[in-house]
Amino acid sequence: GAVVSQHPSWVICKSGTSVKIECRSLDFQATTMFWYRQFPKQSLMLMATSNEGSKATYEQGVEKDKFLINHASLTLSTLTVTSAHPEDSSFYICSASRTGPETQYFGPGTRLLVL
C-alpha cells in the first residue's frame, strides 16, 4: 500500500510554455502533498506544501505565481510550471501523507527539460 504516482515521468518543452505535472496517491487519501525540486548532484528542496481544498504554502524563494499548485482532491495534486525557462529544468518529486507528522510516501519523480 501507500503508492504515489507521477505523470509524466519526463517532459521536454520549449522555453515560455507551461507544463503540468500530476501527483496521485493510488491507494490512500492524502490530506497533505508536498512538492520537491532536485537539481543534479543536490538534495531535495521543498518547494511547497498543499492541503486538500486549501491554498498551498510556498517555501521562501519559491515563486507562487510561477509554480501553481492545485490540490483539488484527496488523491490528486498538480504542479504547473508556468512560462518555463531553462533554469527550471530539474527533477520534480512529490510526496503524500495521510495526516499529521507521518511518513511521506514519495512519487517516482518527473524530469523536466526546458529548451
Inter-residue contact 37 to 91 (CB < 8 Å): yes
Torsion of CA 55, 63, 106, 42, to 10 degrees: -160
Q: Using the rule CB under 8 A, which residue among 20, 68, 76, 91 binds another protein?
A: 91
* Residues 33-62 within binding reach of another protein (CB under 8 A): 34, 42-46, 49
Q: Does 7 bind another protein (CB under 8 A)?
A: no
Q: Are 36 and 49 in contact (CB under 8 A)?
A: no
Is the link from the previous residue into 8 a cis peptide, with omega within 30 of 0? yes
Span from 14-22, 70-78, 79-87, 97-105 in contact with another protein (CB under 8 A): 97-105
Residue 95 burial (CB count, 10 A) = 22
Judged by CB under 8 A, the stretch of 13-21, 64-72, 75-83, 104-112 that binds another protein is 104-112
- What is the binding site for another protein (CB under 8 A)? 6, 32, 34, 42-46, 49, 91, 93, 95, 97, 100-109, 111
